[in-house]
Amino acid sequence: MILLKPLLFKQLTTTIIGPHGITDMIHANQTNHLTQLYQINALTATSSIVLSQIHMTPILDTVFFIASIIHFRRDMPEISNIPRYVWSTVLLMTTIQIPELFFAYMVLVHVPHHYEMNWKYMKENPRMSFALILVTTLLMGHIGTMLGDNIYADSIVNVSKGIIVSHIVYEELFVHKNATHNSSYIES
């Protein structure tokens, strides 16, 4: 069982969790923000590489953690007037200790909710959206298989953090800015 966890986590990461960020490309294409998307991706990926090279990964880790709190707040319900940022922080602090809980949250809550929030963009061209998500899923799954355990190398993990931060920055600046969604979980 202990050997299955890393393999399962890698498969979930590369074939379910990771590909959901490609919806940024769908949104950027429809709203003429591809240049901004590419700039954000280049800046955050390059920054993560530079921070890694100069041994400043604690800065990257801090930015990644804060960005994750901001991002996951959109999944949190309003409970007793406690800000969603608090719930998001509690979720992250808990799942740092229990990775299985994090993966369950990502697969069962975050990714489906993300697709629900982005459906209004995806439905404009559902065949293209499905094809892009499918190709991304297959490509990421293949890369994960090719890399094997090297997927956990510091350099790859740090670049991945940069890419995730770019996903969060793009969504905050372009997808959710002035957006109205039917989901009751979408307000800040």
Range of the domain at 164: 4-175
- CB contact set of 94 (below 8 Å; sequence gap of 6+): 101
Question: Does residue 86 form part of some domain?
Answer: yes
Q: pLDDT tens digits for the chain (188 residues)?
A: 444 567 788 888 989 999 999 999 999 999 999 999 999 999 999 999 999 999 999 999 999 999 999 999 999 988 888 899 999 999 999 998 898 899 999 999 999 999 999 999 999 999 999 999 999 999 999 999 998 888 888 989 999 999 999 999 999 999 988 654 434 344 33
Q: What is the DSSP string of 140-169?
A: HHHHHHHHGGGGGSHHHHHHHHHHHHHHHH
Element (H, E) at 96: helix 84-97
Domain count, the chain: 1
Question: Does residue 8 form part of some domain?
Answer: yes
Question: Does residue 180 form part of some domain?
Answer: no
Task: List residues bridging with 82 in a β-sheet.
Answer: 79
Question: Does residue 101 form part of some domain?
Answer: yes
- What does pTM read for this prediction? 0.87
- CB contact set of 6 (below 8 Å; sequence gap of 6+): 149, 152
Question: Does residue 186 form part of some domain?
Answer: no
Question: Does residue 102 form part of some domain?
Answer: yes
Question: Does residue 181 form part of some domain?
Answer: no
CB 64 within 8 Å of CB 51 = no
Question: Does residue 112 form part of some domain?
Answer: yes
Interval 19-53: pLDDT, tens: 999 999 999 999 999 999 999 999 999 999 999 99
